[in-house]
A and B are shown apart, each in its own frame.
Chain A
Amino acid sequence: MNFIKRLLLDCNPSRNITSSYTNTQIDHVRTQRSQYAQIAEDYRRRRAADPGEGPSTAAAPTQDQDEALAAAAQAEEDEKKTKKRKRKEEDAIDEIKKAKKAKGGKAAEKKEKAIAKKKAKKTNPDLDDSDDEDYDIDYKKAKPAPGQFEHCESCNKRFTVTPYSKEGPDGGLVCTPCGKEMTKDLKKEQKALQPKAAAGKRRRKVESEKLDGVSTGGAKSLVQLCLQRVAQHHDDVEELGDLPPKLLERLSEIFSKKRVMKPKTLPLFLRPDLDSVVVHDAAYLEEEDYLQMFSVVPNMKKLVLSNTCQLKDKSMDYMLERCHELRHIALYAANLVSEEMWHRLFQEAGAKLEVIKLKWLDAAFEDEAVHDMVQCCPNLERLKLKLCRRIGQDSIDSIAELPALKHLTLHIGREVSNDALINLIEKRGSLLETLSLEKFLDADDAVVEAIHDNCNRLSKLRLSENDTITDAGFTALFTNWPNPPLTFADFNSTRDVDNNNPTGPEEAVGLASSGFAALMAHSGPSLKHLDIASCRFIELSAFCDVFNGAQSYPALEYINISFCNKVDTSVVAGIFKSCPKLKSLVAFGCFDVDNVVVPRSIALVGVPRAQDAIEQFGIGVDVDEAVGRMVEVGA
């Protein structure tokens, strides 16, 4: 017989003797009854949760009370072990589901609910919604008081109710560990909903776009908006139609920047009628992509591949076979191309080549290759050799023999004697329109003198990262120089570097006050781009003299005065006044500049707290108003 029935019989042998039982006795019976009821419920729940397990518990109802308790306890123990494994699995699956839910959203949730319903129907065929709905009355259990036992809503485990027990989603109580998990989940959700990072991110985005030159306030151009959209949806774009080549190049730049220039998107930019292929980030492209490139666009005249790490001999070979019209080659980081292939390139395609730009070649490309190049490329007008580790002074001597050279950029790591440089300048100087010598640390005043004496067509001059040329040398360069005014002047990092002497030597080294003044006096009228970053020995007085507001530099669009720490706000105000066409002013590390009010179309980069002034005065200020306000604030 069922022991509960027996118990009830015990408690209630005959109905007419209830009064003979005292209250305490009745209470005692009640608690016993509830305990047994708990145990029975426990057992029932466990059976419901694991239908397939625990054959031993099937025998429980037919045993005695005590035996039943013991058996129940034993069964619990057994089930615990298998349950633990199961629970761990369930937990893992739950986590995955949660993560998926967070990504999936409403549609996924609906799906899950439908699946859950189906599953429930499968395991319990009695659960038929249509029938039960009419008869379903929500029976709510009274909340048990603290101290009593209750079953956790989520994990079905029995636990003692405390005043701190949390409520589950369906109204019942949950045990402590489940309660902890619930609060953790809630916190996560709240964090996800918070827009706290939005403000900081927006500011970063605005500054980043300013640095890229995309926008200086106000709305972006429609072309820019569209390009961004296309890049955003790059997966869905199937073909780019009839975009003009200029837009195509801009689009390829954006794709490269977002690192989505991959084998899948490359074909968008390859059309048989194009005459140039420009890929600024070819890191994801493999051999087949290069072969495709050369086969689809055989008439290419201009080939620009940056980060072409996977360009190998086979692709180069195919290129030489297919593309006979090459005039412009720019290959950056093509380190898998062998030495012989470089020789072959110059020998076979050299006759038509007009522009060669090679950067970051570490493994091959020796002086002999440069020699070959000079021999085979008589029409070479533009040459850029930067960071090619294996070439040295001999290359300079070879380059000096190039007959048509107009634009030369060199950045050579190995030692180059000043005589070699002077020789180069003397031989080629008269035709040169661009001369850029970066990081020739030992170049001295004699080199600059050679430039003065031999170059009279220069429009772009860069002499950067040097600590030997003196200020006097620079001044001599720009004084009485028959060369017409430069359009591009870059003398960044020309200064004395000596930690023991922070104020610099007596005789100024690098571009300093008098050199700067001479430069601006010579090239002021047509200078477009000025870079004097890190020329920290230029005095404040020199800056004020040059940018005094009265003197106008009509073409100047970009100025970089980073780390010239003598600059202060009045200089910046003067710059705004003197340069009507200014678009961008870069001033990192100029700590005396503050309270700057930036006029409408100018991007000021690198000045901390410039935003404060913008917040004060708004962004749509004219130059005069801005300068006026700055003077006010300064005074």
Chain B
Amino acid sequence: MRDVKAGSSEYITLVSNDGFEFKIQRSSACISGMIKRMLDPNGGFSESTTNVCKFSEINGIVLEKVCEYFYYNEKHKDSRDVPDMDFPPELCLELLMAADFLDT
């Protein structure tokens, strides 16, 4: 079931501060409140037209885990007894700060 609104693409790009680009589905990315607001056409941000969000404080590895989290969240949205997502503990603190920044 694709609902493609006129003028909005299904995939958007997230760019980390070290140049890595991640193309993910719009629906998953909007799990993050911040990204949702960035891409909102009524918000007036340039990201809503370019569909590219740049993050100058988040590096590639962390951003990759964030994208993984988006898909994990969407996949398990309606189930219970969800197993926790696995990620290396060394990444924990940076991921925490990124998660707080992205409001997710």
Chain A residues with CB under 8 Å of chain B are 202, 206, 217-223, 225-230, 232-233, 236-237, 240-244, 246-247, 600, 614, 618-620
Residues of B within 8 A of A226 (CB): 92-93, 95-96, 99
CA separation between A226 and B100, bound complex, in Å?
Answer: 10
Q: Is the CB of B96 within 8 A of A243?
A: yes
A230 touches B78 (CB 8 A): no
CB pair B78–A223 under 8 Å, yes or no, is no
Q: For the complex, what is the distance from the CA of A237 to the CA of B85, rounded to whole Å?
A: 20
CB of A551 to closest CB in B, whole Å: 30
Give the complex CA separation of A237 and B97 in angstroms. 15
Interface segment, one of B5-13, B35-43, B65-73: B65-73
A228-B84, A614-B80, A620-B77 given; A222·B99 CB < 8 A? yes
Asked if B59 is at the interface (CB within 8 A of a chain A CB), the reply is no
Select one of B66, B78, B92, B99 contacting A221, CB under 8 A.
Answer: B99
Q: Tell me whether A206 and B80 are in contact (CB under 8 A).
A: yes
CA distance A220 to B102 in the complex (A): 15
- Say whether A219 contacts B72, CB under 8 Å: yes
Nearest CB in chain B: distance from A580 CB, A: 19
State which of B80, B84, B95, B97 has its C-beta within 8 Å of the C-beta of A619. B80
CB <8 Å contact, A219 and B77: yes
Interface pair A218/B78, CB less than 8 Å apart: yes
Would you list which residues of chain B between 48 and 104 have a CB under 8 Å from chain A?
66, 69, 72-73, 76-82, 84-85, 87, 89, 92-93, 95-97, 99-100, 102, 104
Interface contact A225-B85, CB-CB below 8 Å: yes
A244→B95 CA distance, assembly (Å): 13
A202 touches B84 (CB 8 A): no
Chain B residue with the shortest CB-CB distance to A620: B78
Cβ-closest chain A residue relative to B101: A244
Whether B89 contacts A229 by the Cβ 8 Å rule is yes
Contacts of A243 in B (CB 8 A): 93, 96-97
* Residues of chain B within 8 A of A218, CB atoms compared: 73, 76-80, 82
B84 near A220: Cβ-Cβ < 8 Å: yes
Which residue of A222, A233, A241, A246 has the most chain B CB atoms within 10 A of its CB atom? A222
Q: How far is the CB of B74 from chain A (nearest CB, A)?
A: 9
Q: Bound complex: CA of A441 vs CA of B66, how far in Å?
A: 54
Instruction: Tell which of A220, A223, A242 has the most Cβ of chain B within 10 Å.
Output: A223
CB<8 Å pairs between A and B, sample of 25: A206-B80, A217-B78, A217-B79, A218-B73, A218-B82, A219-B76, A219-B77, A219-B82, A221-B104, A222-B66, A222-B69, A222-B102, A223-B104, A225-B85, A225-B87, A226-B92, A226-B95, A226-B96, A229-B87, A229-B89, A237-B93, A240-B93, A242-B97, A600-B78, A620-B79
Q: Is the interface of B mostly helix, strand, loop or mixed?
A: helix
A611 to chain B, nearest CB (A): 9
Nearest-neighbour CB distance to chain A for B41, whole angstroms, equals 26
Q: Once the chains are docked, how many angstroms separate the CA of A495 from the CA of B63?
A: 55
Residues of B within 8 A of A228 (CB): 84
CB-based contact B99/A223 at 8 Å: yes
Residue of A206, A233, A240, A247 near B89 (CB, 8 A) is: A233
Taking CB atoms, residues of chain A closer than 8 Å to B89 are 229-230, 232-233, 236
A618 engages B78 (CB within 8 Å): yes
Residues on A with beta carbons closer than 8 Å to the beta carbon of B69: 222, 225
Q: Which residue of B lies closest to A202 (CB)?
A: B81
- Complex Cα distance, B99 from A246, in Å, reads 13
Q: How far is the CA of A226 from the CA of B87 in the complex (A)?
A: 9
B77 touches A223 (CB 8 A): no
CB 8 Å contact bits of B12-46 with A (1 = contact, 0 = none): 00000000000000000000000000000000000
Bound-complex Cα distance A620 to B82 (A): 13
Contact across chains for A244 and B92 when beta carbons are under 8 A apart: no
- Residues of B contacting A236 with CB < 8 Å? 89
Give chain A residues whose Cβ lies under 8 Å from the Cβ of B93. 226, 230, 237, 240-241, 243
Closest B residue to A246 using CB positions:
B100
- For the complex, give the distance between the alpha carbons of A463 and B60 in Å: 54
Shortest B63–chain A CB gap in Å is 12
Report B-chain residues with C-beta under 8 Å of the C-beta of A206: 80-81
List chain B residues, Cβ under 8 A from A222. Answer: 66, 69, 73, 95, 99, 102, 104
Closest to A222 in B: B99
Q: In the complex, what residues of A have CB within 8 A of residue B92's CB? A: 226, 229-230, 233
In the complex, chain B residues whose CB is within 8 Å of the CB of A223 = 96, 99-100, 104
For A220, A225, A226, A243, which residue has the most chain B Cβ atoms within 10 angstroms? A226
